[in-house]
Structure 1
Amino acid sequence: MDELPIGRRVAYWRGRRKMSQQVFADRLGKSKSWVDKVERGVRRLDKFSVVYDIADVLQVDVTLLLGKEVERKPETQNCIDQVEVEEIRAALERYDQMSAFFQAVPHSPPLTEMRKAVSHAWLTYQHAKYGVLARALPKLLRDAQAADSAHASSDEASTAAHLLGQVYQIASSALRKVGEHELSWLAADRSIAVSQRAGDQLLAGLASYRVGSALLALGRVRPSLEVNVNIANRLAPVGPARPGEDQLSVYGMLLLNGAMSAARIGDSATVRDLLYGAEQAARELGGDCNHYWTSFGPTNVELHRCATAVELGDGRLAVEAHEKMNKAGFHAMLPERRAHHYLDIARGYTQIGDVEKAGEMLLEGDRLAPSEIRCRPLAHEVLSDVLRRTRGTPPAPIAELAEQMGVGV
């Protein structure tokens, strides 16, 4: 995009933000005709103040509009910025397998190195180091795609496909965290196709989980519920033989994700049934585990019990469940899970009008995993709500967090 005129860049980012020319013009305080002339290059943007106003409305760094390399600020180092999103998008838009049909496959790293890189990426995600992950993902995607193409006709084909399927899922999860829901859906959908080539039903089941999460984030709640429940039913343990721990973990996570979808539409009966099924699976599993990078177990079921209560609008139930939770199990969870839970409970406290406790929960999450709070649009909304409803001057730690996150006090 560096070679594009500034007007074309404005049009591009306006389209990405799904704004019509009229809406964009209204937010700028300009006419639709003015916007149209700027985007066509008929009218020059020669005032920096106007360029900064446009960047604010489009929620992009001004350097993206000017075609310069972004200078990342220290406080955004652990988040995913627009440049990194576009690099991930470019990697997802590659079609190496199709290219391999016509020409020699480019060099790919050894699969042993790929396994280590993929495991490291999973751990980076589960420790909520989203900025670190974002800077590694474009190359990891390209390498995994190249490896998948290079081994397409070898004995290692299923292994390479499995690794690529995992990378797509990591990308999907990270993109959803920062509000890039369409791109998250694309990555998850890619993982389903690759997982089928890998011949791994559980990996395909987890890919379906990611698709369900992306659909839920997009507001496509019923399709999200259907995909989670349908695939969970196919992976449900049947027969007298004890199911494997991997199977129980993937099955349980699909039920939990389905419960979140059911809660979004207010179907409390389905929420209760799905949580019960997940609880049974966790009990059979015997404890908290991280099979297939799921963090599934009794504690994660309790976290979802709180989260579904919040989605149902029952903040008091969520807070009560939080207070009764097994503290040892909770503190043994990975940082992303715990910080995510603090954000959910902050929402619960706002629902019952206790904005002071809501603020405390945001601070707890920020201390544990800053990226989970500072990088997520949802956390910005909750913090804005806390500030708006706080009488008088907000506590100094909350005011400082708001300043660091760019949320107006």
Structure 2
Amino acid sequence: MSWGGTVDELPIGRRVAYWRGRRKMSQQVFADRLGKSKSWVDKVERGVRRLDKFSIVYEIADVLAVDVQLLLGKEPERRPETQNCIDQVEVEEIRAALERYDQMSAFFQVVPHSPPLPEMHKAVSHAWLTYQHAKYGPLARVLPKLLRDAQAADSAYATTEHAHDAAHLLGQVYQIASSALRKVGEHELSWLAADRSIAVSQRAGDQLLAGLASYRVGSALLALGRVRPSLEVNVNIANRLAPSGELDPDRLSVYGMLLLNGAMAAARIGDSATVRDLLAGADQAANAMGGDQNHYWTSFGPTNVELHRCATAVELGDGRTAVDTHERIDPDGFAALLPERRAHHYLDIARGYTQIGDVDKASEMLLEGDRLAPSEIRCRPLAHEVLSDVLRRTRGAPPAPVAELAEQMGVGV
């Protein structure tokens, strides 16, 4: 969509239209969520009707999930460090980095300088750990430069003996970006980054990295509601990576995660038989590994399989099975998982408790997740939905900690 100028130079109505378009929301859906008519939205976007009440502007910002300052054409205020989310400014910087095509320009001119590969290895490992500790704000601030550096390295080393190594690093950075963007609801951009990783991984000559890139594509497709393509890509690539002969922990980890992701997609369409089959395959792979590991940054192992057993039950609407499974999870195995995995599970199981009507336990799970990894709860649109559901089901005033969390997240009590 082009308006002939930058977004911050536009009248407020045009900015509303721009962000509505970015959110893939029709005027009718937008109007319904605001409690207004489609005609009212159309007049606002064309500048026929003025937005002269701050309360309406804040309501629009809330529906569009953008900082109100962006609608007012101002630089958004950075969120408090405690919230630690990825804001719209950072998303746009990541988008700009993904829109670069340095690999093509390398055919025509001298490639840009890139950092030494050992330095890049350290930076990429640090980015993975930052993601797995659910520190999305700090990750978002380094991702644009990391993307540019990895792209430059991929171009600079393309004709050298280090070509595969440089491509491998870029493939990893695209995957980190894809995962972080999916967390905060930027699903189209997440899909783009994951898709880029598949192409780069093939150049890196690493089947497992390509398999993991397929996992990211499957996750992005699932988030976009493209459930059957997500199921197909996960299962097809898992079948190609199915272990035979000597058991390699790296291969088992990537294979197992593809099966788990496929199970999540099958659960979304209510295919419980496929869910059972895929979980059984993942369970077999996890047991062959002999314990929880983090090969290829997957956190794959028996405990992660159990977390997905809970998550698929929730997707199938079977909160009782999810809660029963949760209560049987080995506490030591769970405690050994990295914060992102554990907090993600608390969010899943909060949904399970709401399904069986136990609002108190659902609240407790959200608070546990927030204590462990605030960004996983406060930054994710899904967590906002779950907390809203908990508040709606709570009789009388919610407990003080829940009310405080709701206020900090901007969820109406």
User: Please, what TM-score do these two structures have when normalized by structure 2?
Assistant: 0.93
Cα deviation digits, residues 299-353 of structure 1 (max 9, x gap): 1111111111111111111111111111110100000011111111111111111
Aligned partner letter, 1:383: L
Where does residue 303 of structure 2 map in the other structure? 299
**Match of 2:10?**
5
Tell me the C-alpha RMSD between the 2 structures: 2.0
**Correspondence 1:282-361 to 2 at 5 A:** 282-361=286-365
Q: Is the 2:350–2:363 Cα contact (8 Å) retained in structure 1?
A: yes
Q: Which residue is equivalent to 1:181?
A: 187
Aligned to 1:231: 237
Indicate which of 269, 275, 279 corresponds to 1:275. Answer: 279
1:5–1:41 contact (8 Å) kept in structure 2: no
Q: Alignment partner of 2:185: what SS?
A: coil
Report if the CA contact (8 A) 1:178-1:376 is conserved: yes
The answer on whether the counterparts of 1:2 and 1:68 sit within 8 Å (CA) in structure 2 is no
Aligned to 1:15: 21
Q: Deviations over 1:107-166 (max 9, x none)?
A: 111111111110000000000001111111111111111111111111111111100000
- C-alpha distance in structure 2 between counterparts of 1:100 and 1:294, whole Å: 33
The residue that corresponds to 1:139 in the other structure is 145
- Counterpart CA distance in 2 for 1:73 and 1:301 is 35
Correspondence for 1:101: 107
Offset of 1:29 from its aligned partner? 7.0
1:172 and 1:233 map into 2 onto residues whose CA distance is: 23
Shift of 1:268: 1.2
- The residue that corresponds to 2:3 in the other structure is none
C-alpha distance after superposition, 1:336-377 (max 9, x if no partner): 011111111111111111011111011111111111111111
State the SS of the aligned residue for 2:200.
helix
2: CA distance between counterparts of 1:364 and 1:30?
A: 37
Offset, 1:62: 2.4
CA apart distance, 1:104: 1.6
**Residue 8 (structure 1) shift:** 3.7
**Which of 56, 64, 87 is 1:58 aligned to?**
64
69-78 or 204-213, which deviates more: 69-78
Cα distance in 2 for residues equivalent to 1:332 and 1:107: 40
Alignment partners' CA distance in 1, 2:346 and 2:55: 39
Change (3 A) 1:40 1:353: closer
Deviation at 1:4, TM superposition (A): 2.8
Q: In the alignment, is residue 208 of structure 1 matched against residue 208 of structure 2?
A: no
Contact 2:111/2:152, CA 8 A, preserved across alignment: yes
User: Percent identity of the aligned residues?
Assistant: 87
Distance 2:41 2:386 in 1: 33
Question: Structure 1 residues 149, 395: closer, same or farther in 2, change over 3 A?
Answer: same
1:199 to 189, 192, 205: 205
Which TM-score applies when normalising by structure 1? 0.94
Change beyond 3 A, Cα 1:135–1:244? same
The 3-state SS of whatever aligns with 2:252 is helix
Q: Find the counterpart in structure 1 of residue 167 from structure 2.
A: 161
Equivalent residue, structure 1, for 2:400? 396
Structure 1 position 88, deviation (Å)? 0.9
Residue aligning to 2:391? 387
In structure 1, distance between residues paired with 2:28 and 2:251: 51
Q: Could you tell me how far apart the structure 1 residues matched to 2:198 and 2:363 are?
A: 39
The letter of the residue matching 1:391 is R
CA separation of 1:97 and 1:308: change in aligned 2, threshold 3 A? same
Compared CA separation, residues 97 and 235, structure 1 to 2 (3 A): same
Residue 74 of structure 1 aligns to a residue whose secondary structure is coil
| Structure 1 gaps, min length 5 | none
The amino acid of 2:329's aligned partner reads M
Distance (whole Å) between structure 2 residues aligned to residue 307 and residue 29 of structure 1: 33
Whichever residue aligns with residue 10 of structure 2, its letter is: P
Secondary structure in 1 matching 2:9: coil
- 1:283 is displaced (CA, Å) by 1.0
Partner of 1:171: 177
Q: Which moved more, 1:291-300 or 1:262-271?
A: 262-271
Check whether the contact 1:191–1:207 (CA below 8 A) recurs between aligned residues.
Answer: yes
Q: For residues 40-80 of structure 1, what are the alpha-carbon distances to aligned partners after superposition, in whole Å with 9 as ceiling and x for unaligned?
A: 56777676566445434433222213332211131674111
Task: Report the count of equivalent residues.
Answer: 407
SS for the counterpart of 1:392 is: coil
Structure 2 CA distance for aligned equivalents of residues 345 and 37 of structure 1: 43
Report the CA distance shift for 1:308/1:31 in structure 2 as closer, same or farther (over 3 A): closer
In 2: Cα distance, 1:245 partner to 1:325 partner: 22
| 1:226-247 CA distance string (max 9 Å, x none) | 1111000000012xx3121100
Q: Is the alpha carbon distance of 1:313 and 1:38 closer, same or farther for their aligned partners in structure 2, counting shifts above 3 Å? A: closer
CA offsets, 1:188-214, max 9 Å, x none? 111000000000000000000001111
Greater mean deviation of Cα atoms: 383-392 or 29-38: 29-38
Unaligned runs of 5+ in 2: 1-5
1:309–1:315 contact (8 Å) kept in structure 2: yes
Match of 2:125 among 119, 124, 128: 119
Name the SS for the 2:256 alignment partner: helix
